[in-house]
Every structure is written in C-alpha cells, then in structure tokens.
Amino acid sequence: MQESIPPETSPSNPAQEPFDLGSCTLDSGDHDTPFSNALRQLDEAAAVIGLDPAVLELLRWPMRELHVTMPVRMDDGKTRIFHGFRVQYNDARGPNKGGIRFHPEETIDTVRALAAWMTWKTAVLDIPLGGGKGGVVCDPKSMSTGELERLSRSYIRQVGRILGIEKDVPAPDVYTTPQIMAWMADEYSFMQGYNDFGVTTGKPVAIGGSLGRGDATARGGIICIREAARTLGIDLHGATAAINGYGNAGSFAHKLSVELLGMKVVAVSDSRGGIFNADGLDHAAVTEYKQRTGSVTGFPGSKPLTNGDLLELDVTALIPAALEGEISCRNASKIRARIVAELANGPTTPDADQVLRKKGIYMIPDLLCNAGGVTVSYFEMVQNTSGWYWEEEAVHRQLEKKMTAAFKAVHETALRHDVGNRVAAMIVAVRRVEEAIRLRGWV
C-alpha cells in the first residue's frame, strides 16, 4: 500500500524547467469576477470571427434577471430571511435551461456568469435551449431536511412566475439534489393546479426523471477524455487521473474513468482536503468512506495532500470538478497533466488558460466537457413532454452521439482558427446563437 507521494509525482518536486508566465501574474486578471471572465471569453471569440457589434452587445448582457427575498421558518421557530436569484441569459435558441445552486457565498455575479456559460454550452451541444441559472445564498450543510424543503418551496413560489417547460427549466447544481428538484416540481405543480413535473429536470425517476441523469455530467466528460486521448495518441489503459472535487460529478468521474477507460485514479479531494495513492484509489471504498465520515480525508492507506498539491500532480488527466478559479496564475505554470478536463464551471481563469496552452496541455473546456448534464436534462424535457420514457441504454447512446459530435466541432474549429479549445467552443456557440438571433429578426 502506497504511504507517500513519490518524488516524481510530488508537487514539491516538479521535475520541469522554469516556465515563462508571460502576462500571467497575480495582477493580470485572477482577481476578476466570474462574469468578467465570461465576458473576456466572449470578446476573444467575437474578435476572431469579427462578430457584429450589435450582436456582441446583446450577448454581453442577461436578457432578464430576478432577485428574490424569502422568509423561511426554521426548526427553532425563528424566521430567517434568504436571498436568491434567477438569471435568464439568452433564449434565442429555445427555453432557458440551467441549475440552481445553494451556496453560502453565492452572488449575482457568479449566477450571471453561469447563465452565460449555459447559453454557450447548450449551443455547443446543438440542443434547442438557451441559458439560465439560479442561486440561493445559504449554507445547506447547516440546515435540516425540513428547513431545506421549506427554502426550496419558498424559492419556487418567488421565481415560479418565470419558470415552465416553455420558459425556463432548472436542474440540480452545487448542493442541490434530485430531492430538492422534486420539492420544487411539487410546489410548482401546486401553484399551477395540476401536475407539471417538467418544470425541473434531474428529478427522481418516480416523478418523471430520466434514467442516466445521475452520472450524465461525468459520463460526458469521460467521453471527451477518451476522444482527446485518441486525438493525442494516448493509451488510457493504466493511465493516471486526479480529481479535484468529489461531489456528484467528481465521484462518478472516478467510477467511470476506471470502468470505461481503464484509468487509475491516484488522487481525489473535496472541500476539506485530498488523498493520494500511487496504486490507485478504489471508488466504492472511497465513496463509502466519504458517506460515513463526510470527507475523503483520512481514507485508510492514502497519503494526505492539499487541493493545491493535487492540481499539480504529474498525471495524464486532471479533472477539476469543484468550483470556479481553481487553476489561476498562482499555479498554472505548475500544472503537469497532459489533459485538463473541466467538469466544474469556470475552474480555469482566462490568463491561466493561455499558460496551459503554451505548455501544450490539451484543454477540454467546461462548455464542452461538463455538458453531459444539460444534454441528458434536455432528454428528460423531451421525455416529460412526450410522456414516453427511454431505457438507460438509449440515453447513453444519444449522449454519446451528442458529445462526440460536439467534440469534433470544437476540435476542428480550433484547428481552423489556430486557437485554443475554449475559444473554439465559444466560436461554435456564438455562431449558433447569432444565427438564431438573426433568423428571429432581433438584429
């Protein structure tokens, strides 16, 4: 059993020449907000393709956003006031789609950025949806089940007027679950006076959820890693992976990278820290341990390491699956993975992105890599509308088709314009949204 990080893998022994950061310094943009980073990505793609200024100006702003205030009765009998948001960024291609986050540090800026990224993500996957996002400022880890239910229902009572399968359909995101989606769908149905479970996706299967939704985000990312390895000529059998973030996406990425690709996951982490074992970590054992203790830290037979150390490991695939800004000018020059697969939203800052490209690291951007979730959410919408529910194999088959087609479109665009994959994904998305805008006569 591995008891320590070997020198050739340890972040403290990078085994590489000093790297020229160029313009990537701690003052060069790492302090920008998520939404300003999203706009920088849009502007870069717009400059490459010479986007019409009027279209660009339209795409730089959310089309609408709602701020809500919610009184919630707590278990101790006191009432607490919570604040939340719903942003509908652009619905030129169809109804808005995007998750709801419960997080103590949620901000309208982050929700705007995520709504923008959802707009581009649905366009990259070529599904007929726009982009939305929601958030509530709260600490779900400190709340009881009853308090979470009352908060979830209160949120829907406030934002339900702008939701619906023809308008805007939320889904789970950070610290929200299928159960929370079920409560929200039930509350919305009560408001309408009839069952309307299609208002949310990511629901339990018993009330209209889709088979294959649970691991969809991770499965889509694993498909992308497989396609990237084929492009680069890398044999993934026995290749190493490290996963930053061990929630739903990160945990399933661990499971599927082993089962589908034959990889060896040597490190994983959550908000409390990380663990390392050069011989590989067993998914079932780590998952059971985290469910029992609340964290992966202290897992028997593993070596502790920080989240920062994990990001700098010498592995074939690095999978950031936590929050925004994990890879920045502070650590970009130390990243040594051959492939970075962004299962999180916005884990790499724009300046760090440039550093990784100079280093020859193959980036699978979030707009593509984590789009499996919204793709199967779209499949769920189709099933809810038609009343015809698919077998899990059919969901996997359709997801495979969508992800491989999107990967090909992004890769070919990157080669055509001699840009990185993130800019290429933005180009694919912006062109598709622009086409819808023009056909509808908005510009």
- Give residue 1's pLDDT: 33
Rounded to whole angstroms, the Cα distance separating 378 from 311 reads 32
CATH (one of 3.40.50.10860, 3.40.50.1100, 3.40.50.720, 2.30.29.30) for 63-207 = 3.40.50.10860
Q: What Rg value do the Cα atoms of the chain yield, rounded? A: 21
Sign for the pseudo-dihedral over CA of 93, 95, 101, 107: positive
In the chain, list all ranges with CATH 3.40.50.10860.
Answer: 63-207
- For this structure, is 334 an active site residue? no
- Give residue 23's pLDDT: 60
- Give residue 14's pLDDT: 37
What number does CATH give the domain 1-31+210-443? 3.40.50.720
Summarised one tens digit per residue, pLDDT across range 343-370 is 998 899 888 999 999 999 999 999 999 9
- Give residue 87's pLDDT: 98
Q: Which of 78, 97, 121, 133 is catalytic?
A: 133
CA-closest candidate to residue 206, choices 216, 195, 193: 195
pTM, two decimals, is 0.89
Rounded to whole angstroms, the Cα distance separating 261 from 190 reads 45
- Give residue 4's pLDDT: 36
First to last CA, the chain: 63
- Give residue 324's pLDDT: 77
Residues of the chain with pLDDT under 70: 1-31
CB atoms within 10 A of CB 131: 29
In the chain, list all ranges with CATH 3.40.50.720.
Answer: 1-31+210-443
- Give residue 32's pLDDT: 81
Sheet arrangement for strand 273-276: 303-305, 273-276, 264-270, 240-244, 317-320, 339-341, 362-364
Q: What is the DSSP letter of 209?
A: P
Summarised one tens digit per residue, pLDDT across range 248-299 is 899 999 999 999 999 999 999 998 999 999 999 999 999 999 999 999 999 9
